[in-house]
Every structure is written in structure tokens, then in C-alpha cells.
A and B are shown apart, each in its own frame.
Chain A
Amino acid sequence: MNMSRRFGQAFLLLMVFMVLFPLLWTLLNAFKQNVDILTRAPKFIFTPVLDNMIFVLSRQSVLQALVNSLIICLVSVVVGVVLGLPAAYAIARYPNRITDELQFFVLSLRFLPPVAVAIPLMVIWLNLGLYDTRLAMIVTYSLLTISITIWLSVPGFQQVPKEIEEAARVDGCGVYAVFFRIALPVAARTLLGAVAFSFVLIWNEFLIALMLTTSDARTLPIVASEMSQLGMDVPWGILNAAVILLSIPPLLLLGLLSSFMNSVFSRKKK
């Protein structure tokens, strides 16, 4: 093994450490008492306690927020898929001036600072009497998921060779059959990435949720952040436990997706 290779590996290890260590530290702190956290020398060996986890999970607000987050995220991701994928397909397959403009418009929505979107939306939902409801959050988030899904799926559909779709038309497929039987499965890899990305983005969304919810429709990030305001002392252990719990659903989703993606990517060789 030569020097540059060794150096490269050492560099990669360092990067991995930089990314993973804070996460590991958070995980450890979630099982520490405050006295173990607030020491001068960091403690790696301690008696683990479940108090923080129990505290977080036993709070009604956390469970409700978890349910809220799951419902709001899943529904808006599904809406994004149902409306965004066909739109992306149309943009990729039938490009014209309008679709070019549309694609840029969709992206430009993402340029806007979230506050600029959140305040008008707050007024709208208040006037409609839907403020602080799951429905309002779902509709708001669907705007995001649709635009992300469109933006990330267009290249996926563009990569599907045109001849394959033409072969399907000769084989007797109409436009819808071509979309569902050919374009969707062939582009599935890229599309899955787009869907996973939009889920993670919505799951972690904080600013819009902060402005559009007060109690009933609060999502997990909001509730987790509120834990830092519990008392005079910052409850580090509880905060860490909340972060860990918050990270579990996206990790599970990515885990499922990655194993699925692996199976799609790997070619069967005999």
C-alpha cells in the first residue's frame, strides 16, 4: 500500500469520526444523569439510566407530536409522490417552453426563505379557521414535497431511454401503461432517493411548523425544542434522548430504503 492511499484512508477515517462522534456522544448522553453529563472530564464509562427516555416518552405531548409528525409527513410525502411524479414525468418527456418555466418556478419556490412563506400561510390558515390543524400542515408540507419530488425526479425520468417507452407503445401500451409499467419501475432508483429526501426534509422541518402550530398539530421537532425550556437547568439528558427518538424514524426509513436500493442496484450474476 502506498503513501497517498494510506493518507487518503486516514483522511476518510477522520471525516467519519467527525460525523459520527457527535452522534455517538448524543446517544451516550441520552442515557446519562445530569451529573454525569456536566463533568469537567467527559465520561465514557457511567451507569446508564433510562430516566431521560422514560421522561420523554411518558409525556403526552411527545406521543401526540410523534403521531402528528408521522401522519403529517407520510401523507404529504404520498401527496408529493402522487402529484409530483406524474408532473415530473410530463416535464421530462414532453419538454416545451412551458415545462421549462414550470421547472424553474418549482425550484424558485425553494429559494424563498421559509419565513416569507410561513407568515402569509399563517394568515391564510387563521382566516380559514384551520390554523394549528394537521390538515393545514399537510397541505403546507405537500407544497414542499411536490416541488422537491418534481425537481429530483425529472432527471430520473430523463434517463429512461426513449426507445424502451416506444417499444412498450408498439407492444400495445397506452401513455398511462407506459408510465406505470415502464417509466416508473425503470426510474425507480432515482425516484426512491427523491421520496426519501423529501421525507427527511419534512420530518426535520422546524421553522414553518413553529409558525403554523401552537398545540394540537405540533410536530416532533417543535416539541423536542420545547424541552430545553423546561426549567432553570438545561435538561441535557432529556434533550439528547429527544434527539435520539427524533432520529429513529428517518433512520429506519433510510435503512429500509437502502436495503431495497441495494437489491435493485446489485446485478444478479451467476
Chain B
Amino acid sequence: MAGIICKHINKKYGELEVVEDFSLEVADQEFIVFLGPSGCGKSTILRMLAGLEDITGGDLLIGGQRMNDAEPGDRGIAMVFQNYALYPHMTIRENIAFGLRRQKTPESEIDQRVGAVTKTLGLKPYLGRKPTALSGGQQQRVAIARAMIKTPDVFLFDEPLSNLDAKLRAHMRVEIARLHKELRTTSVYVTHDQMEAMTLADRIVLLNAGRIEQIGTPEEIYSAPRTLFVAGFIGTPAMNFLTLRPRRTETGWQLCGDSFQLAISGSAFDLHEGQQVIMGLRPSRLRPVDAGFSGPSVQGEVSLTEFHGDSVLASFSLDGVDLGSLMPAEERPREGANLTFGFAEEDIHLFDAGSGISLRC
């Protein structure tokens, strides 16, 4: 077991810098998820941790030792790949035992450990088969077994569930969470699926274009996004955004759109007169309200309703921007209805329109 420390790591391909100044401390036993859109550098960082990609600059420490130039096999890591990467010419048993054989582990110990791992993952019946005779989910389970059996200091997962269908993905996600509870091995997990990130992570590292946008627990990332990008990336359905101008009033602040004003106290935000701000509000926090509602509210004509099962997403247009309001299915409004949508001040997020940084103080 070991923690990981990344100090100012960067990666260049020739002149192209794909990761700039990545610093992160992963505590022992922690489950860290790298989340971000494709091409944000998350896989590259993981591959640098694994030693499959050279580190251009900075220091990588695993378990307190500098590992920049160590061979992948000497880093105390095990990795699970997106397309499983099982050895096609070996049986499942040989696949799982391969790493131990390389370490010259005695055959009797290999037998015993293969037995234990395959029992945990329910792979006993398949040991004599070749990987091609197994389904995708089973193959990924073999890949996890192959990683587990080495009892590594660190698990690295590179989008391990992306090749599975939705149902199996949910099932394997639970299985990975359960395994982490049992083994408590430090894990770094790369995904572009926010659901996986939210459910598995102790902390999420949200990346965009080779930079860290925010590091935090899933709750922090969801409820207090540090940047506009994080706010837009996390949450389904996506957050509503309105570009507004703040104006000081006697009681606090007024956020002005073209056709409406929203009165807030503004005490939680660092606002200036003449600034452009972007207000973010999750659809689930924007609700139809009665005429007597005293908080900030907007008017809109419902243009479309989407049925989500338990809930309904009603869309309406405000100043030319489409907004969504998520409400219980039984409150489904008629399309074309003119409604008042209200929200509470503590649910809004304000970002500087220029820098995209949160204005919450």
C-alpha cells in the first residue's frame, strides 16, 4: 500500500504540451478518479503513473520513492485496460498467473492465490478457457483478477468499463466499489463517465485540456464547482446558464437580464458593478412556483417536456437561452403553459464571464 505524489508533472510531445504542471497527492487507500472529456490528458497522466509514457518534467513518487524512470514492472502497480488486454494465446489461469510467474513465485503459492482471486470474482468455471471464449464482462473480470493477484501498492484503471453495455457497466461498477472496500488498495481510475466518478471516488480530479479544473470530493464538485467548466460538465441534466449583469440596490444586488431582473442579497459572492457574470442553476433547483412566491423567479412558456421516469424535464426559453426545470413526474405541465419558475439564492452559482472562475467567496 502506498500513496502517490505528483509534483509539477508535465508531458510534451515535441512542442505540443498535453499535460501542464500536474500536481496531486493521493493518500494511501484513497480512490481517486480522473474525470474529463476525451483528450483532456487523463489517460496520459495515468500512463505516466504506470510508466508506459515518459514523464517530460516533474517528479512522481509512489510510496515515497521517485519512480520517474522505473520500469512499469518495478513500480508496484497493476493496471486494468479499457479493452481488457488479456493475453489471447494463454488460458484464463495462465493470464491471471502470468505476473506471479514473472516474479518467480512458487507454483504452490500461485495455485493458492489464483484460487482465492478467482473465487472472489466468480471466475472458477472459466480457468481453462481462452479469453476469446468469454463475454466482455467476464474478460474484464479476468483483467481485474490479473491486477488483483499481484497485491499491488496501487491499482490503475484506464476506462475499464467503457467497452461494456450499460447494465453490465452498472454491475461492474458496484463490484469495483465492493472490491475497493475489501482491499483498500490505493486506486487511480480514469473515466469520462461522471456517474462512475461520482459513485466510486473518494476524490475526483476534474481535468480539462491538460489542466486540473478542480480537485474535491464528489459532493464538493457537485455542489460547489470552482469553474464554469466543472459546473457544465457535472450533473445530468446539465446546469442552466444565464449571462447577467449585477447591479447594486439598497437591499443587496440585482442580476439583470434583457427582459428580467433577479433580486438577491449577493452576500455569498464577490460581485462588482459593471461586471458580466454567468449564473448557473441546476434544473432540479428551478421549480414551478405559485404566484405568492417571494424569492427570485422567472416567467416562461413550456416549449417541451421530456419524461424521465420519476421526473419530467420541462424546457422553456428566456432571453433566447433554453432553460430546463426538473420536477416530479406527477407535476408534468402542459406544453405551451405559461409558468413562473422560482429558486432559492443558495442554489445559484455565479461565475465571472471572462475567466469562468466561481465568484463564491
Smallest CB separation, B140 vs chain A (Å): 13
Q: Which of B71, B81, B130, B133 contacts A167 (CB 8 A)?
A: B81
Q: Which of B3-11, B83-91, B245-253 contacts A (4 or more CB under 8 A)?
A: B83-91
Q: Which of B74, B81, B103, B150 has the most CB of A within 10 A?
A: B81
- CB nearest to A269 among chain B residues: B133
State whether B73 touches A169 (Cβ < 8 A): yes
For A173, list chain B residues within 8 Å (CB).
73, 102
Q: Main SS of the interface on chain A?
A: helix
**Within the complex, what minimum Cβ distance (angstroms) separates A128 from chain B?**
44
B137 on interface, CB distance cutoff 8 Å: no
Chain A: residues with Cβ within 8 Å of the partner, total of 21
Q: Is A231 an interface residue (CB 8 A)?
A: no
Contact digits for A180-203, partner B, Cβ 8 Å, 1 yes 0 no: 001001101000000000000000
Tell me whether B57 is interfacial, beta carbon within 8 Å. Answer: no
Q: Would you give the shortest CB distance from B304 to chain A, in whole angstroms?
A: 43
Nearest CB of chain B from residue A94's CB, rounded to whole Å:
14
Q: Once the chains bind, are A169 and B130 in contact (CB under 8 Å)?
A: no
Q: Bound complex: CA of A186 vs CA of B88, how far in Å? A: 7
Stretch binding the partner chain, chosen from A7-15, A145-153, A158-166:
A158-166
A171 touches B102 (CB 8 A): yes
Tell me if A167 and B102 are in contact (CB < 8 A).
no
Q: How far is the CB of A138 from chain B (nearest CB, A)?
A: 32
Contact indicator per residue, chain B 113-145, by CB within 8 Å of chain A (1) or not (0)? 000000000000000011011000000000000
Bin the interface of chain B by size.
20 to 34
When distances are taken between beta carbons in the complex, the residues of chain B under 8 Å from A172 are 71-74, 99, 102-103
Please tell me if the beta carbons of A267 and B81 are within 8 angstroms of each other in the complex.
Answer: no
Taking a contact as CB atoms under 8 Å apart, the answer to whether B83 and A161 are in contact is: yes
Binding site for B on A (CB under 8 A): 161, 163-164, 166-174, 177, 182, 185-186, 188, 267-270
Taking A163-B81, A166-B85, A182-B87 as known contacts, 6 extra A-B pairs with beta carbons closer than 8 A to each other, sorted by chain A number, are A169-B71, A170-B51, A170-B78, A170-B99, A172-B72, A173-B102
16 A/B residue pairs, CB under 8 Å, sorted by A: A163-B82, A163-B83, A163-B85, A166-B50, A166-B79, A167-B86, A169-B51, A169-B71, A170-B52, A170-B73, A170-B77, A170-B78, A171-B150, A172-B102, A186-B89, A268-B133
Closest 9 CB pairs of A and B: A172-B73, A163-B85, A171-B99, A172-B102, A167-B85, A185-B89, A169-B72, A170-B72, A163-B81
